[in-house]
Amino acid sequence: MLLALVACDHGPAPAAIGLTCAMLDEAPTLVDLDLRFANADEAREYLEHGSSETPREHLIVATDGPSIATLPLEVRGDLTYCVSDELGASRDAVIAATERAAAMWSSVADVRFRFVTPPRCAERGVDAHLVIIPECGASRVVANAMLPWRSGRRGQELAINVCYWDHDAVVASDDALTRTLLHELGHVLGLVHAWNTADYVGACECASSTSFLALAPYDPASIMNYPDCGATWSLFDPPALSDADRAGIEELYCAPGAGPPPCP
Protein backbone atom coordinates (compact mmCIF):
# COMPACT_ATOMS: atom_id res chain seq x y z
CA MET A 1 0.00 0.00 0.00
CA LEU A 2 1.18 3.45 -0.79
CA LEU A 3 0.15 4.66 2.59
CA ALA A 4 2.48 2.30 4.37
CA LEU A 5 5.31 4.76 3.96
CA VAL A 6 3.38 7.93 4.64
CA ALA A 7 3.48 8.03 8.41
CA CYS A 8 4.67 11.32 9.79
CA ASP A 9 7.71 9.86 11.41
CA HIS A 10 10.14 10.36 8.54
CA GLY A 11 10.14 6.67 7.76
CA PRO A 12 12.37 4.89 5.29
CA ALA A 13 12.74 6.16 1.75
CA PRO A 14 10.35 4.46 -0.65
CA ALA A 15 12.12 2.12 -3.06
CA ALA A 16 9.93 3.38 -5.88
CA ILE A 17 7.06 5.79 -6.00
CA GLY A 18 4.60 3.10 -7.07
CA LEU A 19 2.78 5.41 -9.37
CA THR A 20 -0.80 5.38 -10.32
CA CYS A 21 -2.61 8.14 -12.16
CA ALA A 22 -5.27 8.41 -9.54
CA MET A 23 -4.76 7.75 -5.88
CA LEU A 24 -8.25 8.80 -4.96
CA ASP A 25 -8.75 6.02 -2.46
CA GLU A 26 -5.68 7.09 -0.52
CA ALA A 27 -5.70 10.82 -1.14
CA PRO A 28 -9.10 12.01 -2.38
CA THR A 29 -7.95 15.43 -3.53
CA LEU A 30 -4.73 14.40 -5.27
CA VAL A 31 -4.40 13.13 -8.82
CA ASP A 32 -1.26 11.91 -10.60
CA LEU A 33 0.79 12.27 -7.41
CA ASP A 34 0.76 16.00 -6.80
CA LEU A 35 -2.10 17.66 -8.66
CA ARG A 36 -4.22 19.17 -5.91
CA PHE A 37 -7.97 19.79 -6.11
CA ALA A 38 -10.33 21.66 -3.82
CA ASN A 39 -12.37 18.54 -3.08
CA ALA A 40 -12.80 14.91 -4.11
CA ASP A 41 -15.61 15.68 -6.54
CA GLU A 42 -13.43 18.08 -8.44
CA ALA A 43 -10.54 15.59 -8.56
CA ARG A 44 -12.87 12.95 -10.00
CA GLU A 45 -14.25 15.44 -12.47
CA TYR A 46 -10.76 16.23 -13.64
CA LEU A 47 -9.99 12.56 -14.15
CA GLU A 48 -13.24 11.87 -15.95
CA HIS A 49 -12.93 15.03 -17.97
CA GLY A 50 -11.02 13.25 -20.74
CA SER A 51 -12.33 13.90 -24.18
CA SER A 52 -11.50 12.41 -27.51
CA GLU A 53 -11.66 15.89 -28.98
CA THR A 54 -8.11 16.58 -27.88
CA PRO A 55 -5.48 14.13 -29.04
CA ARG A 56 -3.33 12.82 -26.19
CA GLU A 57 -0.09 13.36 -27.96
CA HIS A 58 2.77 15.38 -26.67
CA LEU A 59 0.76 16.95 -23.94
CA ILE A 60 1.98 19.35 -21.45
CA VAL A 61 -1.01 21.41 -20.51
CA ALA A 62 -4.43 20.46 -19.19
CA THR A 63 -7.51 21.54 -21.05
CA ASP A 64 -10.72 22.68 -19.47
CA GLY A 65 -13.51 22.06 -21.93
CA PRO A 66 -12.49 23.75 -25.16
CA SER A 67 -9.94 25.99 -23.46
CA ILE A 68 -6.42 25.50 -22.27
CA ALA A 69 -6.33 25.86 -18.49
CA THR A 70 -4.01 28.81 -17.91
CA LEU A 71 -3.93 31.68 -15.44
CA PRO A 72 -6.66 34.31 -15.90
CA LEU A 73 -5.35 37.37 -17.71
CA GLU A 74 -5.75 39.64 -14.67
CA VAL A 75 -3.57 37.32 -12.59
CA ARG A 76 -0.70 36.95 -15.06
CA GLY A 77 0.65 40.45 -14.48
CA ASP A 78 0.41 40.24 -10.69
CA LEU A 79 0.30 36.75 -9.26
CA THR A 80 0.35 37.43 -5.53
CA TYR A 81 1.57 34.65 -3.25
CA CYS A 82 2.00 34.31 0.48
CA VAL A 83 3.77 31.70 2.59
CA SER A 84 2.06 30.47 5.74
CA ASP A 85 3.61 31.06 9.16
CA GLU A 86 2.59 27.49 9.91
CA LEU A 87 5.61 26.31 7.92
CA GLY A 88 7.58 27.30 11.00
CA ALA A 89 11.30 26.70 10.69
CA SER A 90 10.93 25.85 6.99
CA ARG A 91 9.21 29.14 6.10
CA ASP A 92 12.27 31.26 5.31
CA ALA A 93 13.72 28.56 3.06
CA VAL A 94 10.38 28.14 1.28
CA ILE A 95 10.14 31.91 0.72
CA ALA A 96 13.64 32.02 -0.76
CA ALA A 97 13.10 28.99 -2.97
CA THR A 98 9.73 30.25 -4.22
CA GLU A 99 11.26 33.60 -5.11
CA ARG A 100 14.06 31.87 -7.00
CA ALA A 101 11.69 29.51 -8.84
CA ALA A 102 9.23 32.30 -9.67
CA ALA A 103 12.05 34.39 -11.14
CA MET A 104 13.03 31.47 -13.38
CA TRP A 105 9.50 31.17 -14.81
CA SER A 106 9.18 34.95 -15.13
CA SER A 107 12.43 35.06 -17.09
CA VAL A 108 10.86 33.02 -19.88
CA ALA A 109 7.14 33.86 -19.75
CA ASP A 110 4.97 36.95 -19.41
CA VAL A 111 3.95 36.18 -15.83
CA ARG A 112 4.88 38.22 -12.79
CA PHE A 113 4.82 36.93 -9.22
CA ARG A 114 4.61 39.16 -6.13
CA PHE A 115 5.29 38.03 -2.56
CA VAL A 116 2.77 39.47 -0.08
CA THR A 117 2.45 39.18 3.70
CA PRO A 118 -1.22 39.33 4.66
CA PRO A 119 -2.19 38.96 8.35
CA ARG A 120 -2.81 35.31 7.64
CA CYS A 121 -2.02 33.11 4.67
CA ALA A 122 -4.73 30.50 4.44
CA GLU A 123 -7.51 31.38 2.03
CA ARG A 124 -6.62 31.23 -1.64
CA GLY A 125 -7.87 34.14 -3.68
CA VAL A 126 -8.44 36.20 -0.53
CA ASP A 127 -5.15 36.43 1.34
CA ALA A 128 -3.27 36.05 -1.95
CA HIS A 129 -3.95 34.43 -5.30
CA LEU A 130 -1.60 31.59 -4.33
CA VAL A 131 -1.30 30.43 -0.76
CA ILE A 132 1.65 28.22 0.17
CA ILE A 133 0.75 26.10 3.16
CA PRO A 134 2.07 23.05 5.01
CA GLU A 135 0.26 19.76 5.20
CA CYS A 136 1.02 16.30 6.48
CA GLY A 137 0.03 14.71 3.23
CA ALA A 138 -1.19 11.23 2.51
CA SER A 139 1.13 11.24 -0.45
CA ARG A 140 4.73 10.23 -0.93
CA VAL A 141 5.73 13.39 -2.73
CA VAL A 142 7.42 16.56 -1.52
CA ALA A 143 4.67 19.00 -2.44
CA ASN A 144 1.53 19.42 -4.50
CA ALA A 145 -0.24 22.27 -6.25
CA MET A 146 -3.47 23.26 -7.98
CA LEU A 147 -3.69 23.78 -11.70
CA PRO A 148 -5.46 26.95 -12.87
CA TRP A 149 -8.54 24.75 -13.38
CA ARG A 150 -12.04 25.23 -12.02
CA SER A 151 -11.55 26.05 -8.33
CA GLY A 152 -7.99 27.05 -9.13
CA ARG A 153 -9.34 30.01 -11.05
CA ARG A 154 -10.56 31.44 -7.75
CA GLY A 155 -7.08 31.22 -6.32
CA GLN A 156 -4.65 28.35 -5.96
CA GLU A 157 -3.01 26.34 -3.18
CA LEU A 158 0.47 24.91 -3.08
CA ALA A 159 1.11 22.56 -0.17
CA ILE A 160 4.48 21.51 1.19
CA ASN A 161 4.27 17.97 2.55
CA VAL A 162 6.04 18.39 5.87
CA CYS A 163 5.65 14.64 6.46
CA TYR A 164 7.54 13.74 3.30
CA TRP A 165 10.16 11.19 4.34
CA ASP A 166 13.07 13.42 3.27
CA HIS A 167 11.53 16.80 4.09
CA ASP A 168 14.40 18.06 6.23
CA ALA A 169 17.01 17.23 3.59
CA VAL A 170 14.98 18.92 0.85
CA VAL A 171 14.46 22.07 2.92
CA ALA A 172 18.15 22.16 3.79
CA SER A 173 19.10 22.16 0.12
CA ASP A 174 18.42 25.39 -1.77
CA ASP A 175 18.61 23.48 -5.04
CA ALA A 176 16.26 20.67 -4.05
CA LEU A 177 13.69 23.03 -2.58
CA THR A 178 13.91 25.34 -5.60
CA ARG A 179 13.51 22.37 -7.97
CA THR A 180 10.44 21.35 -5.99
CA LEU A 181 8.94 24.84 -6.18
CA LEU A 182 9.85 25.17 -9.86
CA HIS A 183 7.88 21.99 -10.57
CA GLU A 184 4.91 23.05 -8.44
CA LEU A 185 4.81 26.57 -9.91
CA GLY A 186 4.75 24.84 -13.31
CA HIS A 187 1.47 23.26 -12.23
CA VAL A 188 0.22 26.64 -10.97
CA LEU A 189 0.89 28.00 -14.46
CA GLY A 190 -0.98 25.11 -16.06
CA LEU A 191 1.65 22.54 -16.96
CA VAL A 192 0.97 18.88 -16.25
CA HIS A 193 3.48 16.05 -16.08
CA ALA A 194 5.95 15.26 -18.82
CA TRP A 195 5.00 11.57 -18.63
CA ASN A 196 1.41 12.25 -19.64
CA THR A 197 2.47 12.27 -23.28
CA ALA A 198 1.30 9.57 -25.66
CA ASP A 199 4.91 8.81 -26.61
CA TYR A 200 6.08 8.20 -23.02
CA VAL A 201 6.89 4.63 -22.08
CA GLY A 202 7.97 3.88 -18.52
CA ALA A 203 7.04 3.44 -14.92
CA CYS A 204 4.65 6.37 -14.79
CA GLU A 205 2.32 5.59 -17.66
CA CYS A 206 -1.22 6.56 -16.85
CA ALA A 207 -4.03 4.32 -17.94
CA SER A 208 -6.63 6.95 -17.22
CA SER A 209 -6.06 10.60 -17.62
CA THR A 210 -7.63 13.83 -18.68
CA SER A 211 -7.42 15.89 -21.81
CA PHE A 212 -4.12 17.35 -22.71
CA LEU A 213 -2.87 19.52 -25.47
CA ALA A 214 0.22 18.89 -27.52
CA LEU A 215 2.93 21.46 -27.00
CA ALA A 216 6.06 19.34 -26.95
CA PRO A 217 7.12 15.71 -27.24
CA TYR A 218 8.07 13.78 -24.11
CA ASP A 219 11.08 15.50 -22.62
CA PRO A 220 12.97 13.55 -19.96
CA ALA A 221 14.81 16.72 -18.92
CA SER A 222 11.58 18.63 -18.22
CA ILE A 223 11.15 20.06 -14.74
CA MET A 224 7.65 18.60 -15.01
CA ASN A 225 9.14 15.10 -14.90
CA TYR A 226 10.07 13.09 -11.78
CA PRO A 227 13.32 11.23 -11.17
CA ASP A 228 11.32 8.01 -10.66
CA CYS A 229 9.58 8.52 -13.99
CA GLY A 230 12.73 8.71 -16.09
CA ALA A 231 13.92 12.27 -15.53
CA THR A 232 17.52 12.93 -16.48
CA TRP A 233 18.00 15.06 -13.36
CA SER A 234 18.11 14.52 -9.62
CA LEU A 235 16.16 16.61 -7.15
CA PHE A 236 19.42 17.90 -5.71
CA ASP A 237 20.83 19.11 -9.05
CA PRO A 238 20.97 22.86 -9.69
CA PRO A 239 17.46 23.88 -10.79
CA ALA A 240 16.93 24.40 -14.51
CA LEU A 241 14.18 24.56 -17.11
CA SER A 242 14.56 22.37 -20.18
CA ASP A 243 14.23 23.65 -23.75
CA ALA A 244 10.76 22.10 -23.93
CA ASP A 245 9.73 23.77 -20.67
CA ARG A 246 10.79 27.15 -22.02
CA ALA A 247 9.14 26.61 -25.41
CA GLY A 248 5.94 25.32 -23.83
CA ILE A 249 5.49 28.09 -21.30
CA GLU A 250 6.33 30.74 -23.87
CA GLU A 251 3.66 29.32 -26.16
CA LEU A 252 1.11 29.63 -23.35
CA TYR A 253 2.06 33.07 -22.02
CA CYS A 254 4.46 34.57 -24.62
CA ALA A 255 7.92 35.92 -23.79
CA PRO A 256 8.28 38.42 -20.92
CA GLY A 257 6.50 41.64 -21.85
CA ALA A 258 5.05 40.15 -25.04
CA GLY A 259 1.81 38.54 -23.78
CA PRO A 260 -0.93 37.64 -23.87
CA PRO A 261 -1.15 35.27 -26.86
CA PRO A 262 -1.24 35.40 -29.80
CA CYS A 263 2.45 36.06 -29.31
CA PRO A 264 4.25 38.41 -31.71
Instruction: Using CB under 5 A, list all residues that contact Zn ion.
Output: 34
Rounded to 5°, angle at Cα 156 from 73 and 145: 120
- To Zn ion, the closest distance from the beta carbon of 212 in angstroms equals 14
- To Zn ion, the closest distance from the beta carbon of 186 in angstroms equals 7
- Nearer CB in complex with Zn ion: 82/192: 192
- To Zn ion, the closest distance from the beta carbon of 222 in angstroms equals 11
- Nearer CB in complex with Zn ion: 109/231: 231
- Nearer CB in complex with Zn ion: 34/42: 34
CB pairs under 8 A, 24+ apart, for 84-91? 84/120, 84/121, 84/122, 84/131, 84/132, 84/133, 84/134, 85/120, 85/121, 86/133, 86/134, 87/132, 87/133, 87/134, 87/160, 87/162, 88/134, 90/134, 90/160, 90/162, 90/167, 90/171
Whether 132 contacts 86, CB under 8 Å: no
CB atoms within 10 A of CB 105: 26
- Nearer CB in complex with Zn ion: 34/250: 34
- To Zn ion, the closest distance from the beta carbon of 152 in angstroms equals 14
- Nearer CB in complex with Zn ion: 60/109: 60
- To Zn ion, the closest distance from the beta carbon of 35 in angstroms equals 6
- To Zn ion, the closest distance from the beta carbon of 187 in angstroms equals 6
Question: For residue 184, which of 139, 243, 232 has the smallest C-alpha distance?
Answer: 139
DSSP string, 18-65: ---SB-TTT-TTEETTTEE-SSHHHHHHHHTT--TTS--SSEEEEEET
Residue number, nearest CB to Zn ion:
34
C-alpha–C-alpha distance, residues 57 and 212, integer Å: 8
- Nearer CB in complex with Zn ion: 34/219: 34
- Nearer CB in complex with Zn ion: 117/232: 232
- To Zn ion, the closest distance from the beta carbon of 128 in angstroms equals 21
| Alpha-carbon torsion (75, 50, 25, 225), positive or negative | negative
Rg over alpha carbons for the chain, rounded to the nearest Å, is 17
